[in-house]
C-alpha cells in the first residue's frame, strides 16, 4: 500500500512540477487548450451539436424505424 501511495505521489509530483516550471509557450498553449476545450464541449456540443437521433427519439428501435423510413421513403 505504501509503495502504491508513493508511486502515486511520484506521478502527481511529476505532473505538478512539470506544470509549475512550464515555459512561456507552455503556459500559452495550455490557456489555449482550456479555452478551446470549453468552447468545444460547453458551447458547441451542448448548444449547437446535439446528437440528432439521440435527442429526437427515445429508443434504438425508434431510431431504426426513422432511418429505414428515410432510406426507403425517398423518391
Partner 1 sequence: MIENIDLSLVNWSRAQFALTAIYHWLFVPLTLGLSFILAFMETIYVRTGDELWKKITKFWMTLFGINFAIGVATGIILEFEFGTNWSNYSWFVGDIFGAPLAVEGILAFFLESTFVAVMFFGWNKVGKKFHLASTWLVAIGANLSALWILVANSWMEHPVGMIFNPETARNEMSSFRDVVLNPVAIDKFTHTVTSGFVLASVFVIGISSWFIIRKREEILARKSILIAGIFGLVSSLALALTGDSSARTLAQVQPVKFAAMEALYNGKSEAGLTVIGALTDSGERIGEKKVHDVKMKIAVPKLLSVMTTGKGDGYVPGLRDLVNGNPEKGILSVTEMIERGKYARQLLTDYKMAKEMGDAASLETLAGKFRDQDFINNYFRYFGYSYFDHPWQVIPSVPVIFYSFRVMVGLGFFFILLFTLALLFFYRKSLERNKWFLWLAVISIPLAYLASELGWIVTEMGRQPWIIQNLMPVNVAVSNISTGAVQTTFWLFTVLFTSLLIAEVSIMVRQIKTGPKH
Which residues here bind partner 1, judged by CB under 8 A?
A: 14-15, 17-19, 23, 25-26, 28-30, 32-33, 36-37, 39-40, 44-45, 48-54, 60, 63-64, 67-75
Q: Of how many residues is the chain composed?
A: 75
How far apart are the C-alpha atoms of 55 and 29, rounded to whole Å? 34
Q: How far is the CB of 13 from partner 1 (least distance, A)?
A: 9
User: Are 53 and 66 spatial neighbours (Cβ–Cβ below 8 Å)?
Assistant: yes
CA dihedral angle for residue 63, residue 68, residue 70, residue 75, rounded to 10 degrees:
-170
Q: How far is the CB of 24 from partner 1 (least distance, A)?
A: 8
Taking the least distance from each CB to partner 1, the nearer of 1 and 24 is 24
Amino acid at each position: 500500500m505504501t509503495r502504491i501511495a508513493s508511486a502515486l505521489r511520484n506521478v502527481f509530483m511529476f505532473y505538478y512540477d512539470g506544470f509549475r516550471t512550464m515555459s512561456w509557450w507552455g503556459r500559452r498553449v495550455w490557456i489555449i487548450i482550456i479555452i478551446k476545450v470549453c468552447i468545444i464541449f460547453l458551447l458547441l456540443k451542448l448548444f449547437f451539436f446535439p446528437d440528432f437521433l439521440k435527442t429526437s427519439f427515445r429508443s434504438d428501435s425508434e431510431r431504426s424505424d426513422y432511418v429505414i423510413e428515410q432510406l426507403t421513403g425517398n423518391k
